[in-house]
C-alpha cells in the first residue's frame, strides 16, 4: 500500500458535474475524486452503474459533459488501456508498439529497450512480428497493456484489465503496475474482479446508478456497509 504526504499533488483530478449520451439526460452526476502519485484507485460498481461513462468523460469522449479533468505533466500524459482490444489488422505487434512510441515521441533507442523488455515480460517475443488478428483474447489484451506501459506516463486509466489474462500474465501485469506505482504513477482501474481489487487497490470509488455510492479505503467501505470484517465483494452487494 502507498502512503501519501500532504505536500503531494494529485496526478489526476476529476470533477464531473454531469455527463451522458443525450442532451438533458445525465447518465452520471457529481463524480469527484483524485488519484495521488503511487495510488491505485479501484472504480467498481454493478453493470450499468456508469464506470465506463466516467472513463469516457475523463478521456473527453462525451459530447454531453460538464466536467473538469486535470492530468499531471507538461504536456499532460496518460495511458488508456481499453476493455476491448483496439488494433490495426495490417500492423504486427511490433509495428503497433512502434506506432505508439512515435505518437508518444519516444527516442528509437529508448523504444527498442522498453519494447523488448515488455515483449519478454509478457512472454510475447515469439509473436512480435505477427498480426494481432491471429492472437488469442489474452494475447490481444497483453498487446493493449504493453502499448499502455510503453511510454511510462504519470497516469494510467485501465478498464477491466484481467479478463482473458492467464495467471502468469496477471502476475506480470501486477508486477508492472507495482513498478509504475513505485515510480510515482497513479492508476485508475475499473474492474469487476473484486478479490484482486481488494488485494491490490489503495482505495475505491463504488458507483451505483450514475453516482458515487461509497468511497475510501476498504476500512471506509466496510464502515459504510456496517460490516467490519466483510470482503469487498460482500460490501459491494450491500452498498451497490
Ligand X SMILES: Nc1ncnc2c1ncn2[C@@H]1O[C@H](COP(=O)(O)OP(=O)(O)OP(=O)(O)O)[C@@H](O)[C@H]1O
Which residue, 83 or 95, has its beta carbon nearer to ligand X? 83
- CB 45, min distance to ligand X, A: 5
Q: Angle of helix 137-150 relative to helix 93-104, nearest 10 degrees? A: 30
Which residue, 52 or 196, has its beta carbon nearer to ligand X? 52
Which residue, 131 or 238, has its beta carbon nearer to ligand X? 238
- CB 221, min distance to ligand X, A: 17
- CB 90, min distance to ligand X, A: 28
Which residue, 48 or 73, has its beta carbon nearer to ligand X? 48
Binding site for ligand X (CB under 6 A): 21, 27, 45, 47-53
Using only the alpha carbons of the chain, give its radius of gyration: 18
Which residue, 27 or 151, has its beta carbon nearer to ligand X? 27
CA pair distance 111, 44, nearest whole angstrom = 34
- CB 146, min distance to ligand X, A: 23
Strands 203-208 and 211-216: antiparallel
Strand partners, 31: 16
Using alpha carbons only, give the angle 224, 230, 233 rounded to the nearest 5 degrees.
Answer: 90
Return the C-alpha cell found at 138: 489474452
Which string of b and e fits 214-234 if b means at least 16 CB within 10 Å?
A: bbeebeebbebbeeeebebee
- CB 107, min distance to ligand X, A: 37
Amino acid at each position: 500500500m502507498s502512503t501519501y504526504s500532504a505536500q503531494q499533488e494529485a496526478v489526476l483530478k476529476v470533477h464531473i458535474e454531469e455527463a451522458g449520451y443525450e442532451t438533458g439526460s445525465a447518465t452520471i452526476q457529481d463524480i469527484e475524486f483524485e488519484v495521488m502519485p503511487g495510488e491505485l484507485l479501484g472504480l467498481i460498481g454493478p453493470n450499468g452503474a456508469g464506470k465506463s461513462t466516467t472513463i469516457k468523460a475523463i478521456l473527453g469522449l462525451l459530447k454531453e459533459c460538464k466536467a473538469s479533468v486535470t492530468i499531471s505533466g507538461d504536456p499532460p500524459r496518460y495511458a488508456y488501456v481499453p476493455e476491448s482490444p483496439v488494433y490495426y489488422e495490417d500492423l504486427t505487434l511490433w509495428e503497433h508498439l512502434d506506432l505508439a512510441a512515435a505518437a508518444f515521441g519516444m527516442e528509437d533507442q529508448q523504444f527498442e529497450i522498453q519494447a523488448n523488455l515488455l515483449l519478454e515480460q509478457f512472454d510475447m517475443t515469439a509473436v512480435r512480428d505477427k498480426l494481432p488478428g491471429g492472437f488469442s483474447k489474452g494475447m490481444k489484451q497483453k498487446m493493449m497493456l504493453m502499448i499502455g506501459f510503453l511510454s511510462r506516463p504519470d497516469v494510467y486509466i485501465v478498464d477491466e484489465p484481467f479478463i482473458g489474462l492467464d495467471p502468469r500474465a496477471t502476475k506480470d501485469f501486477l508486477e508492472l503496475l507495482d513498478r509504475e506505482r513505485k515510480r510515482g504513477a497513479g492508476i485508475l482501474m475499473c474492474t469487476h474482479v473484486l478479490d484482486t481489487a481488494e488485494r491490490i487497490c489503495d482505495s475505491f470509488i463504488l458507483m451505483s446508478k450514475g453516482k458515487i455510492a461509497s468511497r475510501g479505503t476498504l476500512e471506509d467501505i466496510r464502515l459504510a456497509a456496517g460490516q467490519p470484517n466483510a470482503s469487498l465483494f460482500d460490501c459491494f452487494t450491500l452498498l451497490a
